[in-house]
Each structure stands twice: as structure tokens, then as C-alpha cells.
A and B are shown apart, each in its own frame.
Chain A
Amino acid sequence: MTKNLRVKSGKVIDETYRISFKFNGNTYYGFKGDTLSSALLANDVHLVGRSFKYHRPRGIMTAGSEEPNAIVQLHDKSSRTEPNVRATEVEIYEGLEASSQNCWPSVKFDIGGINNFLSPLIPAGFYYKTFMWPASFWEKYEYFIRKSAGLGKSPTEPDPDVYEHKYIHCDVLVIGSGISGIMAAKIAAKNGFKTLLVDEKPNLGGSTIYQNSDYFKINNQNSNSWLEKEINEIKKLENLEIKTRTSVAAYHGYNFLLARENLTDHLPIEQRKGKTRHRLLKIRANKVISATGSIERPMIFDNNDRPGILLSSAVKRYADLFGVACGEKCILFTNNDSAYETAISLIQKGINIEAIVDNREKVDSKLLYEVEKSNIKIFKGYTVTDTFGYKRINKISIKQLSKDGQKVVGSKISLTCDCLGVSGGWTPAVHLFTQSGGKLKFREDDQVFIPNTYPSDQISIGSCNGDFTLDEILINTPKSLKEFLNIKSTNYENLEVVSSINKSKRNIWLLPSDKVLGKTKSFVDYQNDATAKDIKLALREGFRSIEHVKRYTTTGMGTDQGKLGNMHALGIISETAGAKMGELGTTTFRPPYTPLTFGTIVGRNVGEYFDVIRKTPIHNWHEKNKAEFENVGQWKRAWYYPTENESMHQAVQRESKAARESAGILDASTLGKIDIQGTDASEFLNRVYTNAWSKLAVGKCRYGLMLNEDGMVYDDGVTTRLGENHYIMTTTTGGAANVMGKLEDYLQTEWPELDVYLTSVTDHFATVSVCGPNSKKILKKVIPDLDFSDENFPHMSFKNAKIGKINCRIMRISFTGEHSYEINIQANYGKSAWEKCMEAGKDYNITPYGTETMHLLRAEKGFIIVGQDTDATMTPIDLQMDWIVSKKKYDFIGKRSLYRSDTIKEDRKQLVGLLTEDPNEVLEEGAQIVADVNKSPIEMLGHITSSYYSPNLKKSIALGVVRGGKNMMGQKLIIPMEKKNINVTVADPVFLDKENKRLNA
């Protein structure tokens, strides 16, 4: 049974446009302009969710982004589903489906509600304390805890929507379009500043836009009409861009801000096609004006969380803006004048007010006198002590406050109601200001934190700066803007303002009750179910820092980030611990101000645009020939080329046999290439590689090992001397960019006197590597003019040649141990060179092989792969590569580190070969290596770095690093696996052709 609580046409409601939507499976109706919460309230639906820990029934509490309770799942079980959406921010559209979260089987009957009755057993820190013992049981507990925790369900299907990022540069950014933001935008734009005005709501005007009473006037007009005219005027300004539904999420240093512009969430789903859903605005503003307003405070009393309890300002907003009554028997509970503004609005709309409970004993307020005219009973000096009604408030108890506000006195009065509007005063929304690095100060008078020092060119105006009343805003805003924008005058200097609010407030952080605290549930953080009792418990248990109390009680750690209750938590801590609020400080406000979807954060960087994909010039050929690819950094490299029905293992065995027995061909284009020129090029190489380079003849190649200054292997590759002052260096595929950066760094900062020029030419060349006993014959066919005799073209040398008319460089170098050539040719001829080699190799069964076979072939020869067999803790000595470290050179990068006390230790992990007892047993890369499995704990000696089955040797081979491995040759070790222990013998890492005969075969 639903009632219709639409009382009068609201300001933003179009009653000619009816919209149907579903909530928890029931169909309801609202009007265009409604939010989900206003539409639900119009249908008298208050119960919308269950609380996080106790599963207590919860209702709509606010009318804005600060909402802690009314968080819902939209379009459950569809690809567009979204959890944790604030019902107060959802604009309804035809077909909207929303459902409650954190309840099972339904919001009205929730099994988890039993936690509410068990609550004495689950205080703050319950999980920390209880599930600690025995430690080994945690995995079992965790399964159940995780299941019952968490709000909402994440989508399981890909997001069908499109998101984008956009940069905006402006002179002035104004955040918030309340009365002060509107004035600021107008002043800035009129004075020639390129201005951007953003507001999270769909409409401009903040709360003044519905402040329609004789008690608030500007130049003899009601404040709302005055503001409306101002808004109409600024819409015409050319210098001003206005973005609504745009919420600033983060305010970083140097006035860099992130905002989320919501473009389609208010549209029916079928109208969203082809449109961008959210746009992440990256705003760089010369000057920022924060007019973010303030958030009304709730009050902390027993059972202050029942459905039907709202902020008083929300009750007013629902009535004025949406024409909705939050109840038929409203009671307002306040410690300041704001609730009387609400009362006047409700009276105007004909909504029944049962009573007003005011903490203050004596109030001289024009608003109060006006309300009294309507014969509404006002209990002055009273407080609410308890509330009743499980799924909806139906009664409250009130008692008189003692003089000091610490106790309740007198007899209890019961009042019936179906709605309680609470006003505890206002808290400036300083979240963005503090994110930017701004420091706050505490204003004792009305117990608020306000901006104190600004870290960048920015200013806070209006109620986020502590100016809560109309007269303060209208006087202070133009004054501070004149100074901030350095302008002479504004049009707002001589306004006549009537503001009838009395500023007195009786602030009591935790209201007294007639029960002991332990028996009350006075919620401070509604979303995380943290109560005043929990905070006091934390303090009793010794927590002092607010950051610790926050984490222990989880106060302020929900999706709402404690926008409502954080101040009360601080207040209670300060009172209990006897510390001053100003000295206590606040917890850190972190971005985002309101949650962002992942889609917004990643923008267009999804799917194939997630990262740059680099393809070699020969990529299409590999694709056509059914290669499987692997990612190496950003590169796609051919991994292996399975023929029909071939497994990866079978393909690799076939490819590697072919390479050793006849001919193999590999696309090595991804190797990094750096062109090095200059009169000091040789000297430069001497300094960056461990071996000597001065004597390398022109036309010769040399393998080089590069270290970090700490002596650890950094990169390796072959460098060729192309001319007297000209080299080409190759680097590993993954290390190319870093090596280039490192070389540039040393040249620019340590050795600027060297005459050396570096150019990255990785993408300029394609590299085709042909290896195997028949490689020479194949190359001869491709390049008939070149003399391939060993005398003219020996191993480790290079020749300039032509394939057809195209220049290329041929290096005779080998990473497989076979006789082998690398053709480097201008990238756009890469595929043609490859195809020519394939054609020429037809008679020799030339077999394309991928990276997997390349790894296997080099492992047979014991050649390392930097990054696989090394891990930034391996020196060349650890790799048994002493031969490449020059003893004669005075210095090179990393030399001094090679004889630090740590690097000369005998028991460092060293690279060795490993052979399994059973030649068919292939070890798992990463597996641990031990000597004794009976010792406890088992001592770990090292791990396997490379492991393959070698078809050429017909046995399993592996490389690994073992503590003191150099001196363990022939020793038996054990690889303990889950199901068995595998016996291995330490061997020479070179498994094949130790004499290097094959290089010249």
C-alpha cells in the first residue's frame, strides 16, 4: 500500500511528465525532475537499505551527495549494473530499476538483522580480536566474513558504455553554484577571466534557489527570485562555461583538479547509445574559487538512525524542490535556527508539524516567532533521548536538558511522529580545500573547521568558508573576490539584505540520555555502523590519535567518507580525551570526494587501447602463418608457430630441431638498437660495458655486458663497430628504453666532456635472424654478390650488403650457438627480406621459430637472458661470466662494486646448470632448490630460472641460481614439489657444443 505524499508542485518537478520506475521489484511513479529518493519519499517509501554491520533498517537521510544510508544497486544483473549509488543523486528515468543492498532475502526481512541483537557481542575491533586465534583458522573465518561483508555487487559483464577524458584550461574555476558561486562566476567572467562554473547537481542555485520567504530578502526581493535573475544573466555571459552534473572529485597541487561530468545517467537506457557516459575533466585553473557550501550535521542520540529520520535541511529540500512531504506527522529537532526555516517551508506547503524540539533554552528568533504563530508546540531546552519503530520511526522520547547540557532531567515526554528532521548546525564542506593541501582552523564560536591557509592561488567563499547566513555571504563574498581577482569593484557592493536568522547554536556532540552509554545505539557513522559507544571504547583501549580511532572503529571509512558524522567523532574524542578540537586536527580527506566509476578513471584506455601495442614490420606474416604471440613489454612477439593439431611443446621441439639440423628463422626486430656516433664513442663504450672496446676493429662485433653502478647485471647485447666513430648497440627487447635513458643520463650528467651522440633506432630497422648449418647457403641465395667465406666474413663480424637494391647490414652473430646471420634492413623492407629468406630456404626446410624456441636454443648453450636468469642481484661473477669483466680497465660503471665485501662473498647465489635424474622430468621455472628436505625449516638454496626439454640433447635441462653453486659441480640437490621431490645434479650451464664448433659449421 503506498500513499501519495506529493503535496504541491515542486520547483524542479514537471508534473506533466510521469515516469515509472522499479524499486525492489515494485513499480512506482514519479515525475521528471525527481531523484530516486524524492520519488520514493513521494510514495512514502523510507526503508531503502540495511546497515553494514548490524543490518538495521535504514532510510533516506539526506538530499545530496553526503547520503550515508540510501545507497542502492542500479540495474542489478545487467551489464550496466552499478553498486553503491546514492539514491539522492539518481535522477529517475523511464525504466530505472534500483534495489536495496546488504540484505537477504529482502530489505523488509533481512536475516542479518540478527546482528542487531547480537550487537553487544560485536563491538569495535570485534573482528580483529576474535578471529586472531588460532592463526591458522583465519582462512576458514575469512570465507564467511567476506561473504557477509561488502556493499553491493560488482558487475560481471563488460561495461557497454563509453567514457572519455578531457583537459580544460581556464583562468578561474568556480566549484559550486550556490549563491556565492553564482556571484563569483559572474564577477570573474565580467572582468575578463575565462571562467568555468561546475556543480554536482542538475540545477544551479544551491539552497538559496528555494529560499522563498519574507525573512530573506535581497534588494526587496525574496532571495530566490533575486538569485534566479542572476542565474539567467550569467547564462548569457560569453566568458563563462557552465557544467552541471559535474562533481569535482579531487583537488591536487598546482590547481590541478579532476571532475566527473555525468552526461547520460539521467537518460533512459535506450537513449544512451552512441553517447559518452562520463567525462573525466582534467582541469588546470590559474585560480580556483571554492563555493562548495556546507553539510548539515545530524545529532547523536540513542537510535538516531531509524527510517524516517532525516536531516532537517533535506526535509525542506524535498518539500520545496520536489513538492514531497517526508511524513504526515513531522517533528523537527534542532540546536539552531535552521530547523525553523524548514518549519516555515512545511507550513507554506501545508505539511503537518507535530512539534519542534530545540536544545536551546532561550531563543530570540524571528523565525521561531513566525512558526509559533501556527500553534506548533516548541519544546525549548529539550533533547530527544530515544526513538521507536523498527522499519519506520513512530515515536520519540524527549527530556529536558540540564543547564550544562551533560544530563537529562525531569520527566519523559513521548511524541508520535512518522518523520524526524534533525539539525545540528552546519559543517563547511572543506574536503576539496584540504585535499589541495589547505590547512584548517577551528572556530570556537560555532564549533566549525574553516579554511585558514591556502597552498595555491585559491579562495573559499560562502558557507564552505564559514559564512552561513545570507547577510554574511552577500557582504563577504564581493569583498574577498575583489582582493582575490584584483579588481576595483563588483556590482554587489550596495545590496540591501534582510536575513532573519539567529546565529545562536547549542552544540552538544553527544547528547545525554537517561540510559547508560553502553545500552545506547547512537550512530556517528551511519554507513559503517560506528556508534559513540565504539569511539569511547577505542579511547578506553588506549587509542589516542584520531587516525587510529578512525581505523579501529571504521568511523568515516564508508563510501560516504563520513561526510555527516566525522565532526561528531572528533567532538566525542575531544571531550572524552580532554583535548581541544583545534589541536586534535581532523582525519585526512582523500580523493575522490564522491566515488568514481572505474570506467571514468580509465576513460578510453580499455581493450586494445589499454596500452600501446608494438608490432614488428613482419607481424602480418606471423599472423598469416598462425603464430601464437607473447607479450614482451609492449611488443607482440611470435611465440611459436603450431601446425595443425600441434601442441606448444610439439611445435617448440620441431622448431628447435630444425634450427640445429638445417635452418631456422627468427624475427628479432624487437631488440633495442642504439646508434652511437662521435669521436669519443669507443671511450664511452669502455665506460658503460664491463669489457674493453678500444681495440675492436671496424667491421667487427662484440658481446657486451652492462652493469648498474651497484655491480649488478643490467643489460646485454652485441655492439658492432660500423666505422671509426660509429657503433650500433643492441639491447634486450624489454630493456631498450631504460638503457637509452641510462646512457643519456651518464652522458649529460657525469661525462658531458665526451663527444658522443645517441639515437634510438629500434623502430628504424627490421632484424631477420637466420641460423643453422644451412644458413650460409640460404644467405648466399638471398645476397649472391657477397663473399660469405669464413675468411671474408667470419663469426662476430659485419658486412654492408644489398638485397636487391636495398641496403642492409649483415651481422654474423649467434644467440643459438649455430652458424647464424642477422639481417638488419630498413623497417619497411623487413617483410620482403623475411620472405626472400623463406623462399631461398625452401630446399633446406627453413623453419620459422618463435621466442620459446629461441629461449630453448640459447639455454642449451647456457646463454643468459637478462631478467630471466638474472634479477638485479646477480653480478657477472655470480653468472660465472668472469671472462667478460676487464681486469685492465681503470673504471666502468659498476666496477668498484664488484669487490665490495658483499659482492665477493663465496656463498652468493650463482648461476649453474641442473640436470634431472630422470631425463624426461622437466623442472618448473621458479621452483625452489634445496639440499636437505629433512631439516626444518628447510634451507632454501636458490631457484630454477630456465627449464626446457631439449630435443637435441634428448634430455631435460635447466639453469638455476644456487647459493655457492660454483663450487657444487656434480653435487646432488633436490627440487621439492607439491607431490614429490625431484633429484637433480649441478652441472656446467653450457649443455651443448662447449667447444663452439657449430658456429663455424
Chain B
Amino acid sequence: MFIINCPFCGKREQSEFKAGGEAHIVRPKQPTELSDDQWAEYLFMRKNIKGIQFERWNHAHGCRKWFNMVRDTSNDEIKAVYKMGEKPPTK
């Protein structure tokens, strides 16, 4: 079980959090102008990487804030956490 450093509350047990899938997938501003394929790309296609992955997490049993996390899925090492709207770390 991870210890997650919530950007609002600090370090907490993983059981307080909910995972929310891949991060940085922006909802299209004009969905009606997209083809079926383009919409499907947004709706369904998600990466499942062995290695560095950008993820959304929610402190569901805490402050209820959503934030982003960079996690190495091969060993569950959390490389960074950052608030929604902030740029992902480059290194």
C-alpha cells in the first residue's frame, strides 16, 4: 500500500485515495465537431504503461481534491504529485 503525498493534505495512506485513470486527457471543447474516430480516441483509448505513467488521483476520504501523480508502474514508486492545472514535471 502506497503512501501518497496529497498536494493539499500531505502524506496519507493509499486507502484514503481513489485512482482515476490516465491524466492529461482533456475533454474536447467542441465534441460535436469530432468524427466518431476522434471522439472514440478521447472516450476509450487509454495507455497502460509498464514504467512511468501519469495518473489522476482523488483524495476521496480526505479533502476530496483531484490531483495528478507520476508513478512508475513497474515498482509503484511515486515520482511526483502536482495539482490539477499544473504542468507535469519534465524530469
9-residue interface stretch from A77-85, A896-904, A941-949: A896-904
9-residue interface stretch from A608-616, A666-674, A748-756, A815-823: A748-756
The answer to whether A752 and B36 have CB atoms under 8 Å apart is: no
One digit per residue, 1 when the CB lies within 8 angstroms of any chain B CB and 0 when it does not, for chain A 99-134 equals 000000000000000000000000000000000000
The answer to whether A256 and B85 have CB atoms under 8 Å apart is: no
Q: In the complex, A138 Cα to B43 Cα: how many Å? A: 43
The reply to whether the CB of B53 lies closer than 8 angstroms to some CB of chain A is no
> Of A253, A284, A748, A900, which one neighbours B84 at CB under 8 angstroms?
A748
Ranked nearest first, the 10 interchain pairs of A and B with the lowest CB-CB distance are: A896-B31, A256-B1, A748-B66, A750-B27, A253-B76, A896-B39, A254-B3, A749-B66, A254-B2, A900-B36
The reply to whether the CB of B45 lies closer than 8 angstroms to some CB of chain A is no
Q: In the complex, A900 Cα to B60 Cα: how many Å? A: 33
The answer to whether A895 and B1 have CB atoms under 8 Å apart is: no
Q: In the complex, A744 Cα to B65 Cα: how many Å? A: 8
> Of B3, B39, B66, B75, which one neighbours A745 at CB under 8 angstroms?
B66
Q: 13 interchain pairs (CB within 8 A)?
A: A253-B2, A437-B75, A709-B27, A745-B58, A745-B66, A748-B84, A749-B84, A752-B84, A752-B85, A891-B30, A891-B31, A896-B32, A900-B40
The answer to whether B32 and A891 have CB atoms under 8 Å apart is: yes
The answer to whether B32 and A890 have CB atoms under 8 Å apart is: yes
The reply to whether the CB of B9 lies closer than 8 angstroms to some CB of chain A is no
Contacts of B3 in A (CB 8 A): 254, 284
- Closest-by-CB residue of B relative to A748 is B66
The reply to whether the CB of B64 lies closer than 8 angstroms to some CB of chain A is yes
Least Cβ–Cβ distance between A796 and chain B, in angstroms: 30
* A interface residues with partner B (beta carbon < 8 Å): 252-254, 256, 284, 437, 455, 709-710, 741, 744-745, 748-750, 752, 890-891, 895-897, 900-901
Q: In the complex, A750 Cα to B31 Cα: how many Å? A: 13
Contacts of B62 in A (CB 8 A): none
Q: In the complex, A744 Cα to B67 Cα: how many Å? A: 12
The answer to whether B66 and A897 have CB atoms under 8 Å apart is: no
Contacts of A256 in B (CB 8 A): 1
- Closest-by-CB residue of A relative to B44 is A710
Q: In the complex, A285 Cα to B20 Cα: how many Å? A: 28
Q: In the complex, A745 Cα to B21 Cα: how many Å? A: 12
The reply to whether the CB of B34 lies closer than 8 angstroms to some CB of chain A is yes
The answer to whether B66 and A900 have CB atoms under 8 Å apart is: no
Least Cβ–Cβ distance between A509 and chain B, in angstroms: 32
Least Cβ–Cβ distance between B11 and chain A, in angstroms: 10
Q: In the complex, A1001 Cα to B27 Cα: how many Å? A: 46
Least Cβ–Cβ distance between B34 and chain A, in angstroms: 7
One digit per residue, 1 when the CB lies within 8 angstroms of any chain A CB and 0 when it does not, for chain B 62-76 equals 001110000000011
Contacts of B43 in A (CB 8 A): 709-710, 897
Least Cβ–Cβ distance between A248 and chain B, in angstroms: 15
- Closest-by-CB residue of A relative to B60 is A741
The answer to whether B1 and A253 have CB atoms under 8 Å apart is: yes
- Closest-by-CB residue of A relative to B31 is A896
Also in contact, A900 and B39, with CB within 8 A (given A252-B1, A895-B32): yes
Known: A748-B66, A895-B32. 10 other contacts (CB 8 A): A252-B1, A437-B75, A745-B20, A748-B65, A748-B84, A749-B84, A750-B26, A752-B84, A752-B85, A897-B43
Interface residues of B in 10-39 (CB under 8 A from A): 18, 20, 26-27, 30-32, 34, 36, 39
Least Cβ–Cβ distance between B35 and chain A, in angstroms: 10
- Closest-by-CB residue of B relative to A751 is B27
Also in contact, A254 and B1, with CB within 8 A (given A744-B64, A895-B32, A901-B36): yes
Q: In the complex, A256 Cα to B36 Cα: how many Å? A: 46
> Of B26, B31, B76, B85, which one neighbours A895 at CB under 8 angstroms?
B31
Contacts of A284 in B (CB 8 A): 3
Contacts of A748 in B (CB 8 A): 65-66, 84
